[in-house]
Chains A and B, each alone.
Chain A
Amino acid sequence: MTAQSLTAAAGVFAVLALLMSGVPIGVALGFTGIAGLAAVLGLEPALIKSGVIVFDTMSRYEFGVLPLFLLMAHLCFAADASRDFFKATASLFGHRPGGLAMASIGACAGFGAISGSSLASAATVGLVALPEMRQRGYSDAFASGAVAAGGTLGQAVPPSTALIVFGIIAEQSIGRLFIASLLPALTQILFYFLVVVLVARWRPDWAPAEPRMSWAGRRRALLRIVDVSALILLVIGGIALGWFTAPEAGSVGASGALLLCAWRRRLTRSSLAHAFVETLRTTGMIYLIVIGALIFSVFISVSGLSAIVGGLIGAAGGERVLTLIIVTVVLLLLGSMLDGLSLMLVTTPLLLPVMQGLGYSPIWFGIFLVRAMEIGFVHPPIGMNLYVIQGIAPDIPLERIFKGVLPFLAADLLHLTLLVAVPAIVLVLPRVLAP
């Protein structure tokens, strides 16, 4: 191992130590990256490289997709879309055992297609769905577990902020990543529905059925989401069909959300100001992380550490499946210590070249990584979604929320295995729609 690689290995440990010390994620990555580059190349190239990365990232056309989709999400949030999604899906599934849990998962997927965030999906849908389910006699553990797990769909369904960030770091087409995430998200929803059905059969008292809603009631509930669903379809369909690029889709989505807010009479000066301010704050937070991660990844690539990691894996047999199992275990272990975005940003520069060397598509790896990252959102000790749910329902102990999420966690692991066993689930749509 060369001195440069030793420096890089020390850098990886330094990043982990700084992250655990509560240093802002972007600063931990960027500071280590600049210090490492200074050690390897000298101070002047390190400073200039960091300056180049900052200006290039902040003026990058493709990255404009992030603030635009965030603005769309905040405007849709102002239009009360999460409540409408839950009511619509509850009107369809509520009469079945576990129907409201399915409705929560469906609402999380629907709201995830607007917000692109796991935490936002779990929080907004949880606010509406949890009190409703508990009032109807659902087990608090099962209800909270369903919402916590459903929230992870926020990152799975396009436009996902995690996929946008991966696209920037890995220099992959964000549009292709969005298209590739469609089938995995759909199968993930089906897996969750299956869990609900099985749990409702095993313990009917945990998820009692509701009286069937009349067709007029269903029609009313569904009509409330026609506008938001049309906007989501336009945005995702437009990218898939090549009508517009991802940043243009963000512009169209934000324009549509603005019109939707006005149409629903929710467009006030304060709601607009709130949407702009929240969009700017979240955008700034993500930009700092991405800038830090890009500086860190330059350091890793200059040091040649990823080549050494690849070599070590090769020396261990170079077996694709074995490598993937090792990578998955490492991701899940790190995911129990780091939050999702940190996990992605620390591991992508190291693991992506290794996986590409083994013949895996970067698009597939992006979806796989995001899926592994989502699992970290629902397993302790980090499990951010579990804490979000506890914030909404403080009277439910964390242990019960974790108990409720366990069957969904098992489904998540099975789903991850499915993505590994059948990569076509990820790769078929980009091949057909965006060759």
Chain B
Amino acid sequence: MSSSARHSRIELLLAWTGAIGLSTSVLVGTASVLARHLRIALAGDVEIMRAAILVTASVALLCATLASRHASVHLLTDRLPVTVGMRLARTGAVLSVVFFLAVACGLAWIMLDLRHAHEQSDILHIPYAPLRWINLAAVLGALVATAIRGWRRQRS
């Protein structure tokens, strides 16, 4: 399988996962409004939404990184010579990798500290550990995607 095909399959899988997270938030949020106005108790809706939002946000971070959609200021870089611009782009990629690495270390550190804590939500007892894993995986994915892009740019 070619690299770009693998890349698009990953994006497709991410899009589906994100769409499921988003749709869950939409359905649960709408259902909870309707239920409240019909005076039906719908316990734990906020907890489901929180979990769905975390999945959506984690996937979204990865999608934006894969699509190079992170916002930056181009006021100066657009006016610089190409070689200087490329050097700044490489510096940006290195800083991005270091930032994602630092954040991943922080997330892993907390997970290690809480490994015996059995964190879960109050009403539906949704375990937090898998959510933390998803979050860490997304940050690591963003790190790898940024590193690969920086590496390819360097080689080209």
Interface residues of A (CB under 8 A from B): 18-28, 30-31, 34, 44, 46-52, 54-55, 57-61, 63-64, 67-68, 71, 243-244, 247-248, 250-252, 254-255, 258, 273, 276-277, 279-285, 287-289, 291-292, 337-339, 341-342, 381-382
On whether the beta carbons of B64 and A63 are closer than 8 Å, the reply is no
**Known contacts A34-B103, A59-B131, A61-B46, then 15 further A-B pairs from the complex at CB < 8 Å, ordered by chain A residue:** A21-B88, A55-B132, A58-B53, A61-B49, A64-B25, A64-B50, A64-B52, A68-B22, A68-B29, A243-B33, A243-B37, A248-B33, A251-B25, A280-B22, A288-B70
The prevalent SS among residues of B at the interface is: helix
Checking A50, A252, A276 against B15 with a beta-carbon cut-off of 8 angstroms, the contacting residue is A276
Binding site for A on B (CB under 8 A): 11, 14-15, 18-19, 22, 25-30, 32-33, 36-37, 46, 49-54, 56-65, 67, 69-77, 85, 88-89, 91-92, 95-96, 98-99, 102-103, 105-110, 131-132, 135, 139
What is the CA–CA distance of A234 and B95 in the complex, to the nearest angstrom? 44
Task: Out of B29, B52, B64, B106, name the residue touching A280 (CB < 8 Å).
Answer: B64
Contacts of A46 in B (CB 8 A): 102
The reply to whether B33 and A61 contact each other, CB–CB distance below 8 Å, is no
Rounded to whole angstroms, the CA-CA distance of A341 and B65 in the bound complex is: 18
Q: Which of A19, A51, A248, A284 is close to B107, meaning CB atoms less than 8 Å apart? A: A51
If the complex has contacts A31-B98, A48-B109, A280-B14, are A21 and B30 also in contact, measured as CB distance less than 8 A?
no
Residue of A nearest to B138 (CB): A58
CA distance A166 to B9 in the complex (A): 35
Please indicate the chain A residues that have their CB under 8 angstroms from the CB of B131 in the complex. Answer: 59
Contact of B70 among A19, A26, A63, A67 (CB under 8 A): A26
Query: Quick check: A244 and B33 within 8 Å, CB to CB?
Result: yes
Which of B15, B76, B96, B135 is the one whose CB lies under 8 Å from A54? B135
- Given A50-B106, A51-B109, A280-B56, A23 contacting B28 (CB threshold 8 A): no
| Complex interface: chain B residues within 8 A of A22 (CB) | 72-74, 76-77, 85, 88-89, 92
Q: By the criterion CB–CB under 8 Å, are A24 and B63 in contact?
A: no
> Are A252 and B33 closer than 8 Å at their CB atoms?
yes
Partner of A252, one of B29, B50, B99: B29
Q: Are A48 and B75 in contact (CB under 8 A)?
A: no
Closest Cβ neighbor of B37 among chain A residues = A243
A25 adjacent to B103 (CB under 8 Å):
no
Chain A residues whose CB sits within 8 angstroms of the CB of B22 once the complex forms = 67-68, 71, 254, 276, 279-280
Residue in A27, A58, A337 whose Cβ sees the most chain B Cβ within 10 Å: A58
Name B11's closest neighbour in chain A (CB-CB): A277
**Minimum CB distance partner of B132 in chain A:** A55
> Cα distance A54–B50 when bound, in Å?
14
A277/B15 in contact, CB under 8 A? yes
Determine the distance from Cα of A257 to Cα of B65 in the docked complex, in whole angstroms: 27
When the two chains form their complex, are residues B61 and A64 in contact, meaning their CB atoms are under 8 A apart?
A: no
Report the 6 A-B pairs with minimum CB-CB distance, sorted nearest first: A251-B29, A51-B106, A284-B64, A284-B60, A22-B77, A283-B60
Interchain Cβ contacts under 8 Å between A and B, 12 examples: A22-B77, A22-B92, A44-B109, A67-B56, A68-B25, A248-B32, A251-B27, A281-B67, A283-B56, A283-B57, A285-B64, A341-B71
CB B55 to nearest CB in A, in angstroms, measures 9
- Residues on the B chain within 8 Å of A71, using CB: 22, 26
Q: Is the CB of A251 within 8 A of B64?
A: no
Give Cα distance in the complex from A283 to B64, angstroms.
Answer: 8
User: Whole-angstrom distance between the alpha carbons of A191 and B136 in the complex?
Assistant: 48
Question: Chain A residue with minimal CB distance to B19?
Answer: A276
Task: Give chain A residues whose Cβ lies under 8 Å from the Cβ of B75.
Answer: 20, 337, 381-382
* CB <8 Å contact, A24 and B107: no
A26 to B110, CA, bound (A): 22
